[in-house]
Amino acid sequence: MRKETIRKCIGCFKDKNRDEMMKITRQNGTDEIFINPNSKIFGRSVYLCYNNTCIEQSFKKNKLARFLKSDLTEELKEKIRTTHKENL
């Protein structure tokens, strides 16, 4: 039996199972940002629910950039939106 790992969404601040959320990581050293990386990539990570409201909320108040301590490009924002639609 595997223990459930709980993480907090930065859009709605609700606690959910990590497997139900999108993980966004800024890698140490390179500052490259990955969406849903495996556990072998180390760096600063945030979690978002797979719903449009949480994603747009994180962009609206620039929460995602502040939590990752990095600037976000429009290309990256579009990639996050696309990843959300693929997981519906």
Q: 6-86 in CATH: which number?
A: 3.30.1230.10
pLDDT more than 90, % of the chain: 68
**What does the domain layout of the chain look like in residue ranges?**
6-86
- Summarised one tens digit per residue, pLDDT across range 5-35 is 999 999 999 999 998 899 999 999 999 999 9
Sign (positive or negative) of CA dihedral 14, 12, 39, 88: positive
